[in-house]
Amino acid sequence: MAWWLWLLVQLVVWCCAGLVAVLWWKWTTKPHIDAPGPPTLPIIGNILDLLDMPLTLRKMFDLHRQYGDLTRLYVGPMLVVLVAHPDDVQHILLTSKLVDRGAICTNAMRMFGGDGLVTIDASRWKVHRKLINPTFHSEILKGFLEAFHDGGLFVCERLARTRGAATEVHPPMLLATIRNFISTIIGVNPDLLMPDALAEEELSATMSYAVSIVQKMVFRPWMQSKFLLQLTSKGRGLLRFVKMLNNFPLKCIAIRSAATEDGPTKTRQSLLEALIKPGGQTAVPLDEVQGELMNLLMAGTETTAVTISYVLPLLALHPEWQDAAHQELKDVFGEGDDYLRAPSLADLGRLRALESIIKETLRLFPTVPMLPRVATEDIWLSGGSAERVSVPKGTLLFVLPFLTHRLPQFFQDPQRFDPSRFLEDRVGKEHACSYLPFGLGARNCVGSQYASLQLKVYLADILRRFRFLPCNRREDLEDSALSFSLSPIKPFRVSCVPVDGPKA
């Protein structure tokens, strides 16, 4: 053997030995917690349990059944704790000061969305939140009803094309929410950014792909390396998707920067106006402006589209609640030609059955299924028991609303779809933190009111025009993947049958 080859072999052997030694040291010095969890393997912990992608609701339900409301996992030497009980939810999201979401969760999405409210670290988050809060003010939201109605009609027109055949609801819904978000919150004519149907479909499909692959990137961190991605055809394809998404905020910034002055003085600004002054001066660094536009576009559209993708199959499986919604719509919107009018705030306020259907859907299938927090200090959790457990600093905590929402001590017969539980007087019957579809505390969803209003308008428009027949079983809905948002593993389909409104 040549001397240089012998040296190379020695170098590789010693490097491997050194790496193993470091990993072993990290494993032996890992933090501990007195909570149940699956058996671990040295160095890798529970990674093998998490390699079966995608990570699904069923997998998490199984872990919860086995180990309870406080479950311990190790991703390598990193301690991960799954949290379900409202007492612990309250402590983590409300009474503690934990706001950092952790790099392992945000790095994957950062590749697609950059630095924004969802992904940004705690030190910069407050500055961004202060800038963005006013763009979702209730005074502004009242002016979005007409745009939401246009979005609802856009979806209805796409559904009408199916002529009763089984169809996916999510694609037209996502496209409508994208157009709405661009025109309302961002404050740009969507036709300037997406000049034709091809551009619309491309942005919609790219965003769907990004959401679907984020989970895989979290548990396979080498997929977050652009250098390694360049080495494979699939990786290069992924980077092309990233480039397509990055074009969107760049176009928005170019449009705003081209303005020489602001228009008439307004009480409230759009997102683009809040982030960029005429001429291109930015309120935060330019890369953070790009990230914020992309973060909010993904968070403000995918979640609404996914929610309706669950609502309609559930109504198809429960015709009694579909009938209740149809009857309520007739009672509120009257008869004759006026029946299909654009909803007003007063109309929406009277749609209590429809609101309860939305709330019950979000109870069973919260579209933001995981709320990560890093323990920046030692904290105590209980898992709902009398004995408290010490959780060491540095632990990655996952609050899991889909588990919290199905605890039988807070929701009777929790697996059943029963919107009436939100029609009844439940004050004092449930924990204040037993229901958190939009999160709680400092890093709750900034657009929760926006989403609620849009959901009501879309469903009021759709259900006045269609009846839905089932093409999936309830079990199919449970077969959903945990990612940036909850997403079906196999697309949900419904059959859309046009209905006649009440006759004058």
- CATH architecture assignment, domain 20-491: Orthogonal Bundle (1.10)
Q: Which of 47-61, 188-202, 355-369 has the highest mean pLDDT?
A: 355-369
pLDDT tens digits along 430-450: 788 999 999 998 888 888 999
Cβ partners under 8 Å of residue 53, min gap 6: 215, 216, 219
Domain map (residue ranges) of the chain: 20-491
Q: Please, are residues 161 and 499 in contact by the beta-carbon 8 Å criterion?
A: no
Report, as an integer, the average pLDDT of 89-108.
85
Quote the CA–CA distance of 299 and 278 in Å, as a whole number.
26
Cis amide bond preceding 221, omega within 30: no
Report, as an integer, the average pLDDT of 420-424.
88
Q: Please, are residues 272 and 249 in contact by the beta-carbon 8 Å criterion?
A: no
pLDDT tens digits along 283-302: 888 888 888 988 888 888 88
- Which of 96-100, 204-208, 350-354, 498-502 shows the lowest per-residue confidence on average (mean pLDDT)? 498-502
pLDDT tens digits along 230-255: 777 777 777 777 787 778 888 888 88
Question: Would the pLDDT of 263 be above 70?
Answer: no
Three-class DSSP category at 333 = helix
Quote the CA–CA distance of 316 and 19 in Å, as a whole number.
55
Q: Please, are residues 204 and 178 in contact by the beta-carbon 8 Å criterion?
A: yes
The pLDDT value recorded for residue 501 is 46
The pLDDT value recorded for residue 266 is 61
The pLDDT value recorded for residue 251 is 86
Q: Are strands 166-168 and 389-391 parallel, antiparallel or unpaired?
A: unpaired
The pLDDT value recorded for residue 262 is 62
- Percentage of the chain exceeding pLDDT 90: 41
Q: Nearest 5°: phi and psi at 56?
A: -115, 165
Average pLDDT of the chain to the nearest whole number: 86
Q: How many residues are there in the chain?
A: 504
pLDDT band at 198 (very low <50, low <70, confident <90, very high): low
- Which of 316-325, 358-367, 466-475, 485-494 shows the lowest per-residue confidence on average (mean pLDDT)? 485-494
Quote the CA–CA distance of 301 and 288 in Å, as a whole number.
20
Beta strands in 84-221 (DSSP E): 166-168
The pLDDT value recorded for residue 320 is 97
Report, as an integer, the average pLDDT of 396-421.
94
Question: Would the pLDDT of 369 be above 50?
Answer: yes
- Which of 96-110, 137-151, 285-299, 401-415 shows the lowest per-residue confidence on average (mean pLDDT)? 96-110
Q: Please, are residues 404 and 434 in contact by the beta-carbon 8 Å criterion?
A: yes
The pLDDT value recorded for residue 90 is 94
* H or E element at residue 417: none
The pLDDT value recorded for residue 425 is 60
Higher pLDDT, 246 or 154: 154
Which class for 300: exposed (0-12), middle (13-18), buried (19 or more C-beta within 10 A)?
A: buried
Question: Would the pLDDT of 503 be above 60?
Answer: no
Quote the CA–CA distance of 388 and 33 in Å, as a whole number.
11
- Percentage of the chain exceeding pLDDT 70: 95
Question: Would the pLDDT of 49 be above 80?
Answer: yes
The pLDDT value recorded for residue 502 is 43
